Amino acid sequence: MNLGVVRESYPGEKRVALVPGNIAQIKKTGLEVLVESGAGSQAGYPDSAYEAKGAKIISSRSEVFSSSDIILYVRGLGANLTEGQADLNLMKSGQVLVGLFDPLSEPEAKKPLAEKNVTAFSMELMPRITRAQSMDTLSSMATIAGYRAVLLAAITLPKMFPMMMTAAGTVAPSHVFIIGAGVAGLQAIASAKRMGAVVHAYDVRPAVKEQVQSLGGKFVEMELDTGESETKGGYAKEMGDEFIRKQRELMTKVVAENDIVITTAAIPGRKSPVLITAEMVKVMKPGSVIIDLAAERGGNCELTKAGETVVVHGVQILGPLNIPTDVPYHASQMYAKNLSNFITLLVKDGKIQTESDDEVIKATMITHNGAVVTHDA
């Protein structure tokens, strides 16, 4: 059997679904690896590196599809609505697809995949259980987003991060406020702290306080009822209107005291909650910076424009999109390891376990046997 790796067609996507270092792991399952020519070039992985590890380079995308039992994507249909349509004509019945398909936000995109009778696995649906941690793509990419957000903030802010004692006087440290202490938020805390900033963080889930403090951040306490703030999967839950009103009121003062605000609050499949209002931006100091990591889902800041930088009241508001692709070498390395671990679970003794009762396989499957697979909310 063959596993195919295709060049990404989503505009601006530089990542690749498999890097040369993971080919040996894939081959141990009995699969041979076919790579579309140039698939890894933008991420820093030339064709020669794949060949050196035993992969076969194929110049034709259609040949990769026709010769492969499994196709690996970074962005499959759903996460690549426009360009991804072209691959439907290349898919063959019974083929297995693995990648990011954004099934919660784009559920209709599953239907054409089901009509092609392919079995698709969406890595966004990976259950948050201990043995699936090595396959948790959302956490891998969130780690990169949190790190990158701090770099964007440092470049944009007209100040330096650390306190410095110089002959020209003392330079006061910058103050960074991070909203949301999930994977991206925690990485942002660690990165900002390493650069010398004074870091405060807030999360609707009080249980993360110790994690924030362990990284050198100061947890912002707010007198709010947070009893139902976390889902069974460990994500922050969408809260009611009254809770959000009180939260914004208490947060306004904290926001005004900081030079940088990094927002990371996102709920899978839902519009991002607005945590920073236009009124809150108005009280921030001129020159301050907001990095909105939830821009792709509407943004945590009321004034965010996805993919743009806007300036309001002297405050720069950045709405970056697809941040992991800006660090394609390591983003590909982490994503490829997640996929390789999943393939190792999916393929046993040279056979693809699409009928398995394994919790990980069942949870990530979105189409099978010509039908869309539904999951409990």
Instruction: Give tens-digit pLDDT for 142-153.
Output: 999 999 999 999
Give residue 368's pLDDT.
97
- Of the residues 9, 41, 128, 329, only one is catalytic, namely 128
Give residue 244's pLDDT.
73
Residues 113 and 170 in one domain: no
Residues 193 and 284 in one domain: yes
- Of the residues 136, 203, 259, 292, only one is catalytic, namely 136
Angle between helices 183-194 and 137-156 (to 10 degrees): 40
- Of the residues 59, 85, 133, 214, only one is catalytic, namely 133
Give residue 118's pLDDT.
98
Residues 74 and 146 in one domain: no
Range of the domain at 226: 142-325
Active site residue 139: yes
Q: With pLDDT > 70 as the criterion, what percentage of the chain qualifies? A: 94
Residues 237 and 196 in one domain: yes
Low-confidence stretches of the chain (pLDDT beneath 70): 224-240, 376-377
Active site residue 241: no
- CB neighbour list of residue 210: distance below 8 Å, 6 or more residues apart: none
Give residue 376's pLDDT.
65
Active site residue 128: yes
Give residue 239's pLDDT.
61
- CB neighbour list of residue 178: distance below 8 Å, 6 or more residues apart: 185, 188, 189, 192, 199, 200, 201, 202, 217, 261, 262, 264
- Of the residues 25, 37, 105, 139, only one is catalytic, namely 139
Whether residue 341 is contained in a domain is answered as yes
Nearest to 337 by CA among 133, 106, 33: 133
Give residue 153's pLDDT.
98
Count structural domains, the chain: 2
Which residue matches tokens 């990011």? 100
**Residue 134 CA from chain centroid, whole number:** 15
Nearest to 140 by CA among 202, 182, 107: 182
The domain that holds 122 is classified in CATH as: 3.40.50.720
Tell me the whole-structure pTM to 2 decimals. 0.91
Region of 242 (left: φ > 0; alpha: ψ -120 to 50; beta: rest) is alpha
Active site residue 134: no
Whether residue 149 is contained in a domain is answered as yes
Residue 191: phi and psi, rounded to 5, are -70, -45
Whether residue 146 is contained in a domain is answered as yes
- CB contact at 8 A, 97 and 120: yes
Residues 8 and 118 in one domain: yes
